[in-house]
Amino acid sequence: MFYESSAWKKHKSCGTSPLLPMTPKKPQQWLQVVGHAGSFHVGDYGTLLKRFCEGEQQCYLRLMEDVLRPFVPAYHGVVQRDEQNYNMIDNLLTHFNRPAIMDCKMGSRTYLEGELLVARERPQPRKDMYDKMVAVDPEAPTDQERAQQAVLKTRYMQWRETLSSTTTLGFRIEGFRKSNEECHTNFKRTKSREQVMEALDNFIDSNTHIVWGYLRRLKQLRQVLEASDFFRTHEVVGSSLLFLHDWTGRTGVWMIDFGKSAALPAHLTLDHRTPWVDGNREDGYLWGLDNLIDMLANMLPLT
C-alpha cells in the first residue's frame, strides 16, 4: 500500500526480538510504499512490515493492552525478511477502495528532549545544517552563523519547527495523496491557520460527509486519549495521525509512528496541552488535536 509521508523514512533498525514464522504468500493488490528502500514491505493477509525498532515495539505491546488499541494498527510481533527484522502491523489501507491518504504529524515539537541534551553536550557547528537552513531561508542565519557557515544542531532543530504549523497549531500536514493519485508533499512552510485549512479542504475535496466522518473519529480519539494510561505516561513525539477516506464515504483515523515515543519516569505524567518548556517533557499533542478538530468543525456549513 501507499503511504505519502516523510515520517516513514526515519526509523532505523535497533535491537533483536523473537521471530515469528512468515505466513504463506497471498496475492493482493497494493501500491508502492514511499520511504527508504527496505524500511517497509507489504506483508501477507493485510499486514505491513516496518523495519524493526525496539522502542516502537515496546509502545505497540503497551498499546495492545490500552484503551487506545482501536485507534492504532494491530500489532502482530516481529518477523524476518532477508535477514532483517520487521515489526508486523495491520495494513490500514486493506479495507478501503483506492483511498485518499493524509499524514499529520502531531505535537508542538518533533525532537525529543534527549536529542537536545545530546546536541548541547557535544556542541558542534554543522555546515550541512547551515546549508539546509539557507536553502529554505537565506535570512535565517545570524551574522555569527553566516561567518562560520555552520549552525548548531539544537539551533537548527528548533528553527525548523518554527517554519510550519507545528509551533503555531500543534500539528503539521506532512503530505497527502488524493484518490486520483494527485500528491501534495510541500508543506514545510504551511504555517497559518488559513493555509492549513486550505490544504485540508483540498484533501477532502470540500466533502461535508467526509468532514463529519473525520470529526466523529477525532472526537472519539480525544476522549480515549484523555483516559489512556499509555498516553498519560509517554512523551509522544514524532507520531502521526493517518487519515483515510474513499469514494464510498468510509473514513478512518489512526495513530501511527511510535519510534520516538518514550516512557516517562514513574513519578511524571503529562497532560499534552501545557506549553513545552525544556525539562517538562510536554509534547502539545492534545493541543494540536484540539486545533485540528476546531478547524474541521469550522469547515462545516453553519446550518
Q: Are 196 and 186 in contact (CB under 8 A)?
A: no
- Digit-by-digit pLDDT tens for the chain (303 residues) are 344 333 333 333 333 333 333 333 333 333 333 344 558 888 888 999 999 999 999 999 999 999 999 999 999 999 999 899 999 999 999 989 999 999 999 999 998 888 888 888 888 999 999 999 999 899 999 999 999 999 998 899 889 889 999 999 999 999 999 999 999 998 989 999 999 999 999 999 999 999 999 999 999 999 999 999 999 999 999 999 999 999 999 999 999 999 999 999 999 999 999 999 999 999 999 999 999 999 999 999 886
- Bridge partners (DSSP) of residue 254 are 242
Please count the other Cβ atoms lying within 10 Å of the Cβ belonging to residue 122: 9
**156-to-169, 182, 225, 284 alpha-carbon distances in Å:** 20, 31, 31, 20
pTM of the model: 0.86
Is 167 exposed, middle or buried (CB count within 10 Å of its CB: 0-12, 13-18, 19+)? middle
Q: Are 112 and 161 in contact (CB under 8 A)?
A: no
